[in-house]
Amino acid sequence: MRQIKRLTLVFIICIFQGCSEPEDVAREQSPSEQAPTQDLIDLITRETALKAQADHFIPVEHYQLDNGMKVVLSKDPRASVASLSFYYGVGYRNESIAQTGVSSLVQSIMMDAKLGDEQVTIAALAQQLGAKVNASVREDFSAYYAQMPGYKIEPFIWAHAKQLSHLYSQDYNLLTQKLALKKQRQYHQMNPLYGFPWHYLKMLAYRDAESKRSLFTTPQEKLDKPLINKFVSERYQMNNVTLVVTGNFDPIWVKSLVKSYFTDFKREKSLEELVETLISPTVASQTKTLPSIPKNAYAVAFHMPQKDSKDYLAMWVVSQWLLSKEGDLAKVFIDKYQITNQIEGGINFLSGFHFFNRDPALLTFSFIAEKAVSSAQVTSYFDEALSPLMQGALTSDLLREMKVAWRVAYYKRLEQDGGLYRGELLASLLAMGKEPRVINDIESQVNALNSADIANAMRQYVANNKRISLTVTQQSDNGGENEN
């Protein structure tokens, strides 16, 4: 913490705009000063990158500070940028009724923290350094992201430490933060024609009040600083955070930065003392009426198996196949009946990587109808699309196609945004109690699945009596619930 106080924003910006870059970057920019063995190092680096590309091998290093903070590093020399992500094991399912909305409030407070002597926010810092920052709160985790050239990582590690200090000091205007959150809810949930996509579906899928909460739940008016401080002291502690760095960066340098900026944060009480909310899945069907929408929309969902299981991997493959252009949903809804132009969804759709939320995760499929169709027809078309897999009609060629569709979607996502999604998967594996390096075993586990595994998982988890369905319509024809 003493080092943080000595650093000013001006000094940080100066450092990372060229005054003092890491040695490896400086050498790359000054070929005449390179060591004689640099050509050999470059050759080895290229060969390693080619091997990683060919074999999809993902290098992973994982360690933990004495205060409990977990760190995962995964370098990709092919990437043009580095991604820095802090994941806290807390989301709006962890809120008590009295704390409703506190997760989003804490995120807003963190992002609004004033940094350094110039008192600018993290967004202003990112703009000055040519970087990108964002944050999100989901059911079971909160995340803070930054993406930048690898040699500009330090100001964002420094900034997050400052954000935490700001949060602990309670030096913020609570009324201002509540108003900002209400504006976000208005913009993201109330203004769009269909609301925040399919948050109604999640409210249908669970009985417990915590799981029914929307991402943009309005905070309780009685939510005060003591309640927020209690929440922070329980959840925003070092043994509940994982830092993941992916993309192109210097791991040795990053480890020194983490040690410098975070070892002074103290370890608090064990998280094992906190009682987690019991998640209560349910099955339901509902029609929501939104008179302002131009077209009707439909969605179905299914509760997924336990994440650490063969059935879960099978359903992951099934979901990617059904959502692909060659999949059965596209054949039925787009090609045959021409009801829609696009089907969206997936496991944990819009809620993070497949493994992140606590069990049971939700698999969703949704679309906006381009022509009139009844809910009964939609149900029958879903049955038609799912029937071949439910009945086990999987040839070896079809199973191969399904695995190819999964592989394409999986690796495409891992390579997106400088490895941001790779980092999310690594953090979620760690949250499951696994070593992050098992990311390299996922493909072989998928390859080991056979047609019987697919059919068994389909029959167990995608049966008609386990379906959650939602219709969002312009007008109610069956006494549907109006949304005001």
CATH of the domain at 36: 3.30.830.10
Quote the distance between the C-alpha of residue 264 and its chain's center. 28
Pair 167, 305 in one domain: no
Among candidate residues 243, 273, 303, the one where a domain is terminated: 273
Pair 128, 195 in one domain: yes
The residue assigned the tokens 């470059």 is 42
Pair 338, 290 in one domain: yes
Lowest-pLDDT range of 51-55, 169-173, 274-278: 51-55
With H, G, I as helix, E, B as strand and everything else as coil, classify residue 394: coil
Cα 378 from Cα 340, distance rounded (Å): 11
Pair 124, 72 in one domain: yes
Strands 70-75 and 82-88: unpaired
Pair 326, 468 in one domain: yes
pTM of the entire structure? 0.81
> Per-residue pLDDT tens for 168-182?
776 778 888 888 877
Q: How many domains, the chain?
A: 2
Cα 244 from Cα 83, distance rounded (Å): 8
Cα 115 from Cα 157, distance rounded (Å): 12
In a domain, 63, yes or no: yes
In a domain, 314, yes or no: yes
Residue 33 reports pLDDT greater than 50? no
Residue 37 reports pLDDT greater than 70? no
Pair 191, 223 in one domain: yes
Among candidate residues 242, 273, 304, the one where a domain is terminated: 273
Residue 132 amino acid letter: K
Cα 171 from Cα 201, distance rounded (Å): 37
- Which residues are within 8 A (CB) of 82 and not within 5 positions of it... i.e. 6 or more apart? 147, 148, 149, 150, 153, 245, 246, 247, 248, 249, 418, 419
In a domain, 52, yes or no: no
Q: How many helices (H) and strands (E) does the chain have?
A: 19, 12
Pair 269, 345 in one domain: no
Among candidate residues 215, 245, 273, the one where a domain is terminated: 273
Pair 289, 379 in one domain: yes
In a domain, 96, yes or no: yes
In a domain, 264, yes or no: yes
Taking residue 142's Cβ as centre, other Cβ atoms within 10 Å add up to 25
Joined together, the tokens standing for residue 207 give 């009985």
Joined together, the tokens standing for residue 159 give 């900034």
Residue 4 amino acid letter: I
Cα 415 from Cα 420, distance rounded (Å): 8
When the pLDDT of each residue in the chain is averaged and rounded to a whole number, the result is 80
> Per-residue pLDDT tens for 417-448?
778 889 999 998 998 888 999 999 999 999 99
Pair 217, 347 in one domain: no
Pair 75, 134 in one domain: yes
- The model's confidence at residue 65, banded by pLDDT at 50, 70 and 90, is very high
Pair 253, 316 in one domain: no
Question: Domain limits at 382?
Answer: 285-482
In a domain, 51, yes or no: no
Model pLDDT, residue 477:
53
In a domain, 458, yes or no: yes
In a domain, 466, yes or no: yes
> Per-residue pLDDT tens for 368-407?
999 989 989 999 999 999 988 887 778 899 999 999 999 9
Q: What is the CA radius of gyration of the chain?
A: 24
Q: What percent of the chain stands above pLDDT 70?
A: 77
Taking residue 385's Cβ as centre, other Cβ atoms within 10 Å add up to 21
Joined together, the tokens standing for residue 33 give 């000063």
Higher pLDDT, 323 or 198: 323
Pair 17, 146 in one domain: yes
Quote the distance between the C-alpha of residue 439 and its chain's center. 16
Lowest-pLDDT range of 124-128, 156-160, 347-351: 347-351
- The model's confidence at residue 56, banded by pLDDT at 50, 70 and 90, is confident
419 neighbors 247 (Cβ within 8 angstroms): yes
